[in-house]
Amino acid sequence: MSEATFTFRVDESLKSEFATAAKACDRTGAQLLRDFMREFVQQQDMAGHDAWFRRQVQDGLDSANAGRLVPAADVEARFAARRASTRGALEASE
């Protein structure tokens, strides 16, 4: 992993308080900032997934409300056939 320098300005008193708090946790300010950055990026990834999931759920609800449904018996029959096909393929490969 290549590294890059991240430079920004911060109030001197905040920098001093942060360095003191970091030291109390036996960490450097740079270590904590890297951790905070990783956590923030991960939260954004999770927020993106959450938004996608909510859209998928809403699409499903809209579809159901519009009457576009597949009867449970049809779904079960379709997947029973898939399971039988998979079992057959596994038995043939033994």
The string of pLDDT tens digits covering residues 17-73 is 999 999 999 999 999 999 999 999 999 889 889 999 999 999 999 999 999 999 999
DSSP 14-69: HHHHHHHHHHHTT--HHHHHHHHHHHHHHHHHHHHHHHHHHHHHHHHHHHHHTT--
3-state secondary structure of 93: helix
CA angle 32, 33, 35 (to 5 degrees): 65
Interacting residues of 37 by C-beta distance below 8 A, sequence separation 6+: none
pLDDT at 1 exceeding the cut of 80: no
